[in-house]
């Protein structure tokens, strides 16, 4: 019987129907305790009225709820009210993989992305002893942002008759199918399921192979006019060979074929092995195959990726020089409107990886790749560089430069001009003045490169020292002032210095940069970042970011900051196009998914936040903002034990002297019931002698039940202009209880621009 709007199941209020299937009806419902919408699946009466089936369902629901993996649909709760059995799950927005397959084959790169997400979800489940047994496109859901979830783990396990009219029976206590019954949907069942034999996780890998084959071919691997014919095809047939397409498609077809072996012993022996094979296919298959139909590079304009130059210097601390030279060449080439240049973070994602440059170029979507090396010995410098065509693998240009360190500007200019000449584009617009004529002191530039190196590693103290040393040698160095302002900004954000001091010094530096280079997009961005953290003049922040975006359309950073600005303010629809554009420009930058995560978090969409943070950590497991967001999303989803792992990793990355990391970890400890350890962590910050931002400890204090102390901390955060204190006051979901305090409106009214 269908449920009407307003019906209550336990604490949940039914809002509207979402759909129905063999395992019951699904509804959108409201969870008033956490203020979020959820999905509720009401199980068929045949399950609810059978004690054995219901007990089995509850056991499986508990097992799945314990998985907590971003590629598996989360089960929040289950219950039985007046004979109505139900499961409460996260609410998803998007469509099933079946909906996408209705339009034909899935594009190769998207297919490998989906395949990897499925395989990772299966691996997590199999390691916990949970087998799906009904993997099919209808049980794979793709959200609007491309995140894939496996549905109905434990809920979709049901028996079906082999032939119409044949009586079905439930699994035995051992979990094996009784003779005459089969599990799952016939076109995706493994041969052992068809025969009614015991199954293990390798059965899911067969079903995975059928799904992958269908993504590539656009039709089912096994078909027939009746269920019996389909089952016979599963037992007898090998799917037709896919037309040779070369590259990634052929590599994926090999993986699918290995999964579809009739004998389980000849398949991959674990989902973990499958994940490894997919990564190998992605890497090897991305190399272009020169066939008559694919012998030319993709039809796109001139494009290049500058890989980080290798440091061959005897002193390993010279790495800043090789990284810096690469960045400066990227910066120079990005001024060419006719040339597409892969962004710095995406190119640097391949640093120290032994991967063919042709494969890298294909992944970054460019026609050419520049690689090189730097060797510094005393005042001497040797730079080698070569430009490689991605399609053919042939060298388009190469050169070796033996110079002094004083000639570094001339070297980077010559490389940039050589690339522009080779690719037949004009460099630096109307100006042909060499960089060396603009900046005369090579020692100051060397110190500036050190500053950028430490900034990229989020070591603000060393970055500040290097930038200040550069400015002592060259007080007219605008880029060094911008770097100094940004370094003070992250120092104030992560803690260890009074944020009022950080803000004052950052603003002074950026104003000096503005006086020297009033139209530079980096200066506009730096102004906006200081407002975002400390100044709280959001109209000014928005103006500066749009100015930077218009001045440098190829620059990815303005899109990131516009997206995170709108996202943290809860304006998700306005944030999305900027974040999607940033992700296009920086496909290997984990900050794209991190920014999506915080935007969802601010909108109280914690499942989507958790999943976005997980994708960021797949790209780089050490991103502090993503570790914090992943852990805190799990806290908001009511899973403190799972949250502790990423929060402990955050402390490992940032260090125990970081109030940002230790404060968030303390919140996780308190939520997990480890109050004594949480208090000890907070006490370690208080006795450290370093400045501790109140925003870093307020959540932990509230979790410990110290409501008055938490409110006092929130007041101090506003008084001392802690970084993002405006967000904690207006949007931080963990502080909802403090907003009921009668003193809160007066506190919120103090979120005003700095004067």
By annotation, the residues acting in catalysis are 134
Give the relative orientation of helices 499-516 and 478-494 as an angle to the nearest 10 degrees.
160
Give the other-Cβ count within 10 Å of 755's Cβ: 5
Give the other-Cβ count within 10 Å of 706's Cβ: 17
Contacts of 131 (CB under 8 A, 6+ apart): 125, 199, 200, 201, 203, 204
In a 3-state reduction of DSSP, which class is residue 343?
coil
Joined tokens for residue 430: 């109307």
Q: Tell me which residue has tokens 């978090």.
A: 601
CA distance 26 to 18: 5
Do the beta carbons of residue 537 and residue 529 sit within 8 Å?
no
Do the beta carbons of residue 363 and residue 286 sit within 8 Å?
yes
CA distance 202 to 260: 10
CA distance 49 to 58: 13
CA distance 188 to 741: 56
One DSSP character per residue, 123-146 reads HHHHHTT---S--SGGGEEEETTS
Closest to 349 (Cα-Cα) out of 631, 626, 623 = 623
CA distance 268 to 212: 14
Give the other-Cβ count within 10 Å of 420's Cβ: 20
CA distance 725 to 427: 43
In a 3-state reduction of DSSP, which class is residue 36?
strand
Length of the chain: 755
Joined tokens for residue 652: 């490992």
Helix residue spans in 260-333 (DSSP H): 271-285, 319-333
Do the beta carbons of residue 367 and residue 392 sit within 8 Å?
no
CA distance 349 to 46: 53
CA distance 235 to 57: 30
- Kindly tell me the burial class for residue 424, based on how many C-beta atoms sit within 10 Å of its own C-beta (0-12, 13-18, 19 or more): exposed
Closest to 234 (Cα-Cα) out of 274, 276, 189 = 189
One DSSP character per residue, 177-197 reads PPTTEEES-GGG--HHHHTT-
Helix residue spans in 424-498 (DSSP H): 435-438, 442-456, 460-473, 478-494
- In SS3 terms, 726-749 reads as HHHHHCCHHHHHHHHCCCHHHHHC
For β-strands 94-96 and 368-377, DSSP reports them as unpaired
Joined tokens for residue 164: 């119409």
Helix (H) or strand (E) holding 12: strand 12-21
């Amino acid at each position: 019987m269908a449920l009407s709007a307003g019906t209550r199941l336990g604490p949940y209020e039914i809002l509207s129907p979402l759909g129905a299937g063999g395992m019951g009806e699904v509804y959108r419902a409201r969870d008033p305790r956490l203020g979020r919408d959820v999905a509720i699946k009401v199980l068929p009466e045949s399950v609810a009225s059978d004690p054995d089936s219901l007990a089995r369902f509850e056991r499986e629901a508990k097992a799945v709820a314990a998985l907590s993996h971003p590629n598996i649909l989360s089960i929040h709760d289950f219950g039985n009210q007046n004979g109505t059995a139900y499961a409460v799950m996260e609410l998803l927005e998007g469509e099933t993989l079946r909906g996408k397959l209705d339009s034909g084959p899935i594009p190769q790169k998207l297919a490998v992305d989906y395949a990897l997400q499925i395989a990772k979800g299966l691996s997590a489940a199999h390691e916990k002893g949970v087998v799906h047994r009904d993997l099919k496109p209808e049980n794979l859901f793709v959200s609007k942002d491309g995140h894939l979830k496996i549905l109905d783990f434990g809920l979709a396990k049901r028996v079906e008759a082999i032939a119409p009219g044949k009586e079905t029976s439930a699994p035995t206590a051992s979990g094996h199918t009784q003779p005459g019954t089969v599990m799952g949907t016939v076109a995706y069942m493994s041969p052992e399921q068809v025969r009614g034999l015991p199954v293990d996780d390798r059965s899911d890998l067969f079903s995975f192979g059928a799904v992958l084959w269908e993504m590539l071919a656009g039709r089912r691997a096994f078909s027939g006019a009746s269920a019996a014919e389909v089952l016979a095809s599963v037992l007898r047939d090998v799917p037709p060979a896919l037309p040779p397409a070369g590259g990634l498609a052929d590599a994926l077809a090999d993986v699918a074929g290995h999964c579809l072996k009739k004998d389980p012993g000849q398949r991959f022996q674990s989902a973990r092995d499958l994940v490894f094979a997919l990564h190998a296919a992605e890497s090897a298959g991305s190399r272009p195959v020169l066939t008559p139909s694919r012998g030319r590079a993709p039809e796109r304009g001139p494009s290049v990726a500058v890989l980080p130059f290798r440091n061959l210097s005897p002193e390993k601390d010279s790495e800043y020089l090789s990284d810096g030279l690469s960045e400066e060449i990227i910066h120079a080439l990005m001024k060419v409107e006719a040339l597409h240049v892969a962004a710095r973070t995406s190119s640097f994602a391949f640093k120290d990886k032994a991967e063919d440059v042709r494969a890298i170029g294909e992944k970054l979507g460019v026609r050419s790749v520049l690689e090189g090396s730097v060797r510094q010995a005393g005042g001497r410098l040797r730079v080698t560089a070569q430009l490689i065509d991605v399609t053919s693998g042939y060298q388009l240009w190469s050169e070796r430069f033996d110079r002094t360190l004083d000639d570094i500007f001339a070297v980077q200019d010559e490389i940039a001009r050589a690339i522009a000449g080779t690719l037949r584009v004009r460099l630096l617009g109307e100006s042909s003045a060499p960089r060396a004529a603009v900046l005369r002191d090579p020692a100051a530039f060397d110190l500036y490169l050190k500053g950028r190196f430490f900034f990229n590693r989020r070591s603000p103290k060393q970055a500040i020292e290097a930038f200040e040393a550069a400015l002592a040698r060259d007080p007219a160095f605008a880029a060094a002032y911008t770097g100094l302002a940004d370094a003070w900004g992250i120092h104030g954000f992560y803690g260890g210095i009074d944020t009022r001091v950080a803000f004052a010094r950052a603003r002074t530096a950026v104003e000096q940069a503005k006086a020297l280079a009033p139209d530079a997009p980096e200066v506009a961005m730096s102004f906006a970042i200081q407002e975002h953290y400390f100044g709280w003049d959001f109209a000014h922040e928005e103006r500066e970011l749009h100015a930077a975006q218009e001045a440098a359309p190829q620059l990815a950073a303005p899109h990131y900051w516009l997206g995170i600005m709108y996202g943290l303010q809860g304006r998700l629809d306005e944030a999305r196009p900027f974040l999607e554009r940033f992700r296009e420009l920086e496909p290997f930058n984990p900050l794209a998914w991190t920014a999506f995560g915080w935007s969802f978090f601010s909108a109280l969409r914690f499942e989507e936040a958790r999943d976005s943070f997980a994708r960021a950590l797949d790209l780089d497991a050490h991103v502090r903002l993503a570790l914090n967001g992943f852990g805190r999303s799990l806290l908001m989803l009511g899973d403190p034990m799972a949250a502790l792992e990423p929060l402990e990793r955050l402390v490992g990355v940032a260090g125990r002297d970081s109030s940002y990391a230790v404060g968030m970890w303390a919140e996780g400890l308190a939520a997990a019931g480890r109050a004594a350890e949480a208090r000890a962590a907070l006490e370690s910050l208080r006795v450290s002698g370093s400045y501790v931002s109140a925003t870093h400890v307020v959540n932990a204090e509230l979790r410990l039940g110290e409501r008055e102390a938490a409110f006092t901390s929130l007041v101090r955060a506003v008084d001392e202009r802690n970084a993002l204190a405006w967000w904690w006051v207006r949007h931080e979901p963990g502080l909802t209880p403090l907003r009921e305090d009668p003193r809160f409106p007066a506190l919120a009214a103090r979120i005003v621009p700095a004067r």
